[in-house]
């Protein structure tokens, strides 16, 4: 009998410059059995995306060097399998509109309920095998 | 001794010169000593700052997995973290976490901050005579939350003599978001309306997020008039408060053009397909900034209603296409961005404008196309247009004026 080989899921990249927020997001996802890596700015995020080829990026649109929106332009999501959930604060209608046109899959608002993040990621990536 | 004599030998003949020389030496020594002190202080404070930063980050990494667990576990680990990283670092991490979290998790962080003594320390500091210390303590208490902290914030928002402290207390009360806290924050705000528009805007944004109904009530009761009403409406739009839609609709034909523009922006953020005809009517407003707001609003609407604008699709593209020829740059740019969100029909209008002779419409259309979602053929078409434009020289070489040559010589 052949045992199906499961593909090891690449880590979720969290691009967030607030140290505590990034850690809380990572811990919420790790509690659901997801692996994560954290980028503190746009350059680091690009390096991690190239290294891990992730399925999902959690991106703070207010990120620095380059900004979250600039990073989205670089990634050219329309022709990529990478999906992006943009981290926003209440409001930001302008940024949301630009991010939508650049191919963002969804938005996640901070402050957040830890369980909600897991739900949204499951919607995008499907359930996680433990 | 021979050294000192040699040193002063050139000045022996003149007493004044000797005094000057001694003065210079004393001053130089003083400068050197002060520089050494400043340098040492800088090194020490930099090391302290780095150590504090490392402690903060260490505490954040250590605590984060337990913050989202249960309260008992978090308390246990917070005690361990205090021994490892110090009280300040642990308090700061927990305070910041409370800002980022909602619901039960946020409450348990608040309880732990109470139990590890952070709230007690801040309650002592809030009695300080120094304004900056009081303001920092009030901000800290706002981050901690909980009944004891809120009682102090209620008092500070009403009675503190310093505006900065009152403002911080109000923000803390809004973060708490219980009805009595919100009411106290509103009463304090109306009593001493901050001078700066940025502070007022910040208050409305927080209030709209904490309780949009209360802010709407302030508008309905006409407690906010003129520019305040507009700031409040913008905040309600940003907070996604759908109860403001009816009010915005009633202001679309206001005589105050700025209020019309604010109402249009709000509808763009919160409106549904039913509101598109009203938005389209504003594309023909007499004021350019209302037309620009309507074009932008249609872009926002298209991005949150996605492909369901079909009923008004053609009319929308026609009017936005007309907006590309508007005399205002803002209207042209926003109309182009709006068209980029109108699917294939909108893209076609942009391409036609991009290939036409009207420079103003062309620039706006090409800028929007550069950001739009295009097929491979459309990308090729866009590249060809851009290449063709590059071949058109901006200044005819024959007409170039010699003294304007960038190299300074004759052309």
The tens digit of pLDDT for each residue in A105-125 reads: 888 888 888 888 888 888 888
**pLDDT at residue B393 above 80?**
no
Highest mean pLDDT among A46-50, B14-18, B175-179: A46-50
Q: Residue A109: helix, strand or coil by DSSP?
A: strand
Q: For chain A, which residues lie within 8 Å of any Cβ of chain B, measuring from their own Cβ? A: 18-21, 23-24, 26-28, 30-31, 78, 90-94, 96-98, 100-103, 110-114
Q: Is B373 on the interface with A (CB under 8 A)?
A: yes
Give the per-residue pLDDT at B406: 41
Q: Given phi > 0 = left and psi -120 to 50 = alpha, else beta, which region is A103?
A: left
Give the per-residue pLDDT at B407: 42
**pLDDT mean across residues, chain B:** 84
Give the per-residue pLDDT at B402: 43
Q: For residues B69 and B213, what is the distance between their CA atoms, to the nearest angstrom?
A: 33
The B residues from 93 to 132 touching A (CB cutoff 8 Å) are: 93, 96-97, 99-103, 105-106
Torsion B129-B132-B133-B135 (CA) sign: positive
Q: For residues B63 and B113, what is the distance between their CA atoms, to the nearest angstrom?
A: 13
Short-list B179, B172, B177, B129, CA closest to B152: B172
* B48-70 confidence digits (pLDDT tens): 999 999 999 999 999 998 988 88
Q: Determine contact, residues B98/B145, Cβ cutoff 8 Å.
A: yes
More confident residue, A32 or B397: A32
Instruction: Give ipTM to 2 decimals.
Output: 0.83
Closest residue in B to A104 (Cα–Cα): B303
In the structure encoding, which two tokens stand for residue B131, read together?
């304004």
Under the banding of pLDDT at 50, 70 and 90, the label for residue B411 is very low
* Residues B181-198, mean pLDDT to the nearest whole number: 86
**pLDDT at residue B188 above 80?**
yes
Residues of A in Cβ contact (< 8 Å) with B103: 113
In the structure encoding, which two tokens stand for residue A34, read together?
């997801």
Peptide bond into A66 cis (omega under 30): yes
DSSP-derived secondary structure letter, B117: T
**pLDDT at residue A2 above 60?**
no
All residues at 6 or more sequence positions from B152 whose CB lies less than 8 Å from its CB, including other chains:
B123, B126, B138, B141
Q: Determine contact, residues B267/B285, Cβ cutoff 8 Å.
A: no
Q: Is B206 on the interface with A (CB under 8 A)?
A: no
* B17-49 confidence digits (pLDDT tens): 888 889 999 999 999 999 999 999 999 999 999
The 3 state secondary structure assigned to A27-62 is HHHHCCCCCEEEECCHHHHHHHHHHHCCCEEEEECC
Are A100 and B61 within 8 A, CB to CB? no
Are A78 and B303 within 8 A, CB to CB? no
Tell me the Cα Rg of chain A.
Answer: 14
Q: What percent of chain A has pLDDT over 70?
A: 84
Q: For residues A89 and B342, what is the distance between their CA atoms, to the nearest angstrom?
A: 27
Are A114 and B61 within 8 A, CB to CB? no
Residues of B in Cβ contact (< 8 Å) with A94: 300
Under the banding of pLDDT at 50, 70 and 90, the label for residue B357 is confident
**pLDDT at residue B358 above 50?**
yes
Give the per-residue pLDDT at B6: 61
Q: Determine contact, residues A23/A14, Cβ cutoff 8 Å.
A: no
Q: For residues B370 and B359, what is the distance between their CA atoms, to the nearest angstrom?
A: 16
- State the maximum Cα–Cα separation within chain B, in Å, rounded to a whole number: 104
Are A24 and B64 within 8 A, CB to CB? yes
Are A111 and B238 within 8 A, CB to CB? no
The 3 state secondary structure assigned to B372-409 is CCCCHHHHHHHHHHHHHHHHCCCCCHHHCCHHHCCCCC
Q: Which helix (H) or strand (E) holds A108?
A: strand A106-109
The residue with tokens 């620009």 is: B292
Q: Residue A14: helix, strand or coil by DSSP?
A: strand
**pLDDT mean across residues, chain A:** 82
Residues of B in Cβ contact (< 8 Å) with A28: 68
Q: For residues B177 and B207, what is the distance between their CA atoms, to the nearest angstrom?
A: 9
Residues of A in Cβ contact (< 8 Å) with B299: 97
Q: For residues B69 and B65, what is the distance between their CA atoms, to the nearest angstrom?
A: 7
Residues of A in Cβ contact (< 8 Å) with B239: 90-91
Other beta carbons within 10 angstroms of residue B372's beta carbon come to 20
Q: Determine contact, residues A57/A84, Cβ cutoff 8 Å.
A: yes
Strands A83-88 and A12-15, bridge-based pairing: unpaired
Short-list B296, B285, B307, CA closest to B337: B296
Are A93 and B269 within 8 A, CB to CB? yes
Give the per-residue pLDDT at B311: 73
* Residues A51-58, mean pLDDT to the nearest whole number: 90
Residues of A in Cβ contact (< 8 Å) with B96: 18, 20-21
By Cβ distance, the residue of A90, A96, A111 closest to B100 is A111
Closest residue in A to B92 (Cα–Cα): A20
Residues of B in Cβ contact (< 8 Å) with A97: 299-300, 303, 341
Give the per-residue pLDDT at B102: 84
Which one of B97, B100, B268, B343 makes the best mutation probe of the A interface by having the most chain A beta carbons within 10 Å?
A: B100
Backbone angles phi, psi at B67, to 5 degrees: -65, -40
Here the contacts of B256-260 (C-beta below 8 Å, separation 24 or greater) are B257/B285, B257/B286, B257/B287, B257/B289, B257/B290, B258/B230, B258/B289, B259/B229, B259/B230, B260/B285, B260/B287, B260/B290
CB environment B275-300: b (16+ within 10 A), e (fewer)? bbebbbebbebeebbbbbbbbbbbbb
Under the banding of pLDDT at 50, 70 and 90, the label for residue B404 is very low
> Distance of CA B40 to CAs B33, B45, B263, B316, Å?
11, 9, 59, 67
Residues of B in Cβ contact (< 8 Å) with A78: 373
Tell me the Cα Rg of chain B.
Answer: 32
* A61-109 confidence digits (pLDDT tens): 888 878 888 888 777 665 577 889 998 876 666 677 778 777 788 888 8
* Residues B380-403, mean pLDDT to the nearest whole number: 66
Give the per-residue pLDDT at B316: 84
Provide the CA A130 distance to its chain's centre, in angstroms.
Answer: 20
Helices (H), B68-162: 71-85, 87-100, 103-115, 118-125, 131-144, 147-159
Give the per-residue pLDDT at A6: 53
Q: For residues B158 and B161, what is the distance between their CA atoms, to the nearest angstrom?
A: 9
**pLDDT at residue B309 above 70?**
no
Residues of B in Cβ contact (< 8 Å) with A90: 205, 208-209, 238-240
**pLDDT at residue B400 above 60?**
no
How far B294 CA lies from chain A's nearest CA (Å)?
14
Give the per-residue pLDDT at B39: 94
Which one of A92, A108, A111, A118 makes the best mutation probe of the B interface by having the most chain B beta carbons within 10 Å?
A: A111
């Amino acid at each position: 009998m052949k045992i199906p080989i499961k593909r090891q899921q690449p880590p979720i990249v969290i691009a967030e410059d607030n140290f505590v927020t990034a850690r809380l997001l990572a811990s919420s996802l790790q509690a659901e059995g997801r692996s994560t890596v954290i980028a503190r700015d746009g350059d680091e995020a690009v390096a991690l995306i190239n290294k891990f080829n992730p399925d999902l990026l959690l991106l703070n649109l207010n990120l620095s060097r380059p900004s979250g929106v600039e990073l989205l332009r670089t990634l050219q999501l329309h022709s990529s399998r990478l999906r992006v959930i943009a981290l926003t604060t209440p409001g930001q209608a302008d940024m949301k509109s630009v991010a939508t046109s650049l191919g963002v899959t969804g938005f996640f608002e901070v402050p957040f309920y830890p369980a909600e993040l897991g739900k949204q990621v499951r919607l995008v990536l499907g359930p996680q095998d433990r | 001794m021979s050294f000192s004599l040699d040193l002063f030998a050139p000045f022996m003949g003149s007493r004044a010169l000797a005094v000057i020389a001694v003065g210079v030496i004393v001053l130089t020594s003083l400068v050197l000593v002060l520089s050494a002190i400043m340098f040492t202080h800088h090194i020490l404070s930099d090391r302290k700052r780095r150590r504090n930063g490392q402690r903060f980050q260490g505490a954040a990494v250590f605590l984060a997995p337990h913050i989202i667990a249960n309260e008992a576990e978090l308390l246990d680990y917070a005690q361990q973290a205090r021994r490892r990283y110090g009280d300040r670092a642990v308090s700061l991490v927990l305070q910041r976490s409370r800002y980022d979290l909602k619901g039960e998790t946020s409450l348990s962080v608040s309880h732990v901050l109470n139990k590890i003594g952070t709230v007690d320390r801040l309650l002592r500091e809030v009695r300080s005579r120094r304004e900056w210390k009081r303001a920092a303590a009030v901000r800290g208490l706002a981050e901690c939350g909980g009944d004891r902290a809120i009682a102090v914030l209620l008092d500070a928002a009403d009675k503190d003599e310093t505006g900065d402290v009152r403002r911080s207390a109000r923000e803390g009360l809004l973060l708490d978001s219980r009805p009595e806290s919100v009411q106290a924050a509103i009463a304090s705000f109306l009593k001493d309306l901050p001078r700066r528009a940025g502070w007022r805007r910040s208050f409305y944004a927080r209030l709209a997020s904490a309780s949009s109904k209360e802010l709407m009530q302030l508008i309905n009761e006409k407690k906010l008039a003129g520019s305040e009403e507009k700031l409040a409406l913008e905040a309600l739009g940003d907070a996604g408060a759908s109860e403001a839609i009816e009010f915005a609709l009633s202001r679309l034909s206001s005589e105050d053009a700025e209020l019309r523009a604010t109402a249009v922006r709000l509808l763009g953020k919160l409106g549904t397909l039913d509101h598109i005809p009203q938005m389209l009517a504003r594309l023909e407003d007499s004021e350019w900034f209302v037309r620009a707001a309507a074009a932008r609003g249609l872009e926002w609407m298209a991005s949150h209603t996605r492909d369901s604008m079909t009923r008004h699709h053609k009319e929308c593209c026609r009017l936005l296409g007309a907006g590309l020829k508007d005399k205002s740059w803002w209207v042209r740019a926003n109309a182009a961005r709006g068209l980029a969100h109108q699917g294939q029909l909108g893209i076609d209008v942009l391409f036609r404008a991009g290939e036409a002779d009207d420079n103003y419409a062309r620039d706006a259309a090409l800028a929007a196309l550069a950001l739009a979602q295009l097929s491979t053929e459309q990308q090729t078409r866009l590249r060809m247009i851009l290449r063709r434009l590059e071949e058109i020289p901006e200044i005819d070489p024959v007409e170039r004026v010699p003294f304007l040559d960038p190299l300074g010589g004759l052309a």
